[in-house]
């Protein structure tokens, strides 16, 4: 029943973290598309069903908050989660639905993604805190 799985678009310019994150998300039952840049992510969104975008924050060309802004301009209902090794929430993180620190680990990441997908992370939580 792959069609019943939530599809996550995972974006990171670094290959090894991208592969590892994809593997973790798949173990938690998600279908995962990957992109190595913001531009590639936007192209994939045009031709694929995606339920959530999980993006690294620091990337060349288009960073995570810029990608979140572009995604929300095209598909405002699509949740975007910023995932960063930097513990400080960027000033322009308001475009994202949630900001997660990589320090919290992969299980925390998957738990929070599940909350966003299941609607238990309502608008009052929208990028309002560091998780």
Give residue limits of the domains in the chain.
Answer: 2-125
Residue at token pair 């192209």:
43
Provide the greatest CA pair distance for the chain: 40
Residue 3 pLDDT grade (very low, low, confident, very high; cuts 50, 70, 90): low
Residues 101-127 have a mean pLDDT of 79
**pLDDT value at 93 more than 80:** no
Q: Give pLDDT tens digits for 26-57.
A: 999 999 999 999 999 999 999 999 999 999 99
pLDDT attached to residue 90: 67
Higher pLDDT, 5 or 122: 5
Q: What is the pLDDT of residue 124?
A: 37
pLDDT band at 86 (very low <50, low <70, confident <90, very high): confident
Q: Are 31 and 54 in contact (CB under 8 A)?
A: no
Residue 129, pLDDT above cutoff 90: no
Cβ(38)–Cβ(61) below 8 Å: yes
Q: Flag whether the pTM goes above 0.85.
A: yes
* Contact assessment for residue 115 and residue 121, using Cβ atoms and an 8 Å cutoff: yes
Q: Is 79 exposed, middle or buried (0-12, 13-18, 19+ CB in 10 A)?
A: buried
Q: Using alpha carbons, list the distances in angstroms from residue 94 to 30, 37, 62, 72, 85.
A: 25, 20, 16, 11, 18
Options 3.40.190.10, 3.30.2130.30, 3.60.15.10, 3.40.50.2300; which CATH number does 2-125 get? Answer: 3.40.50.2300
- For 7-21, what is the mean pLDDT? 97
pLDDT of residue 4: 74
What's the pLDDT score for residue 84?
A: 87
């Amino acid at each position: 029943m792959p069609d019943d799985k939530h599809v996550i678009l995972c974006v990171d310019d670094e290959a090894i973290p991208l592969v590892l994150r994809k593997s973790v998300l798949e173990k938690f039952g998600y279908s995962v598309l990957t992109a190595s840049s913001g531009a590639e992510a936007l192209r994939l969104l045009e031709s694929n069903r995606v339920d959530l975008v999980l993006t690294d924050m620091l990337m060349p060309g288009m960073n995570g908050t810029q990608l979140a802004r572009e995604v929300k301009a095209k598909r405002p209902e699509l949740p975007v989660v910023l995932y960063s090794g930097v513990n400080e929430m960027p000033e322009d993180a308001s475009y994202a639905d949630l900001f997660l620190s990589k320090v919290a680990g992969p299980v925390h990441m998957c738990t929070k993604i599940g909350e966003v997908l299941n609607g238990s992370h309502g608008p009052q939580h929208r990028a309002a805190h560091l998780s």
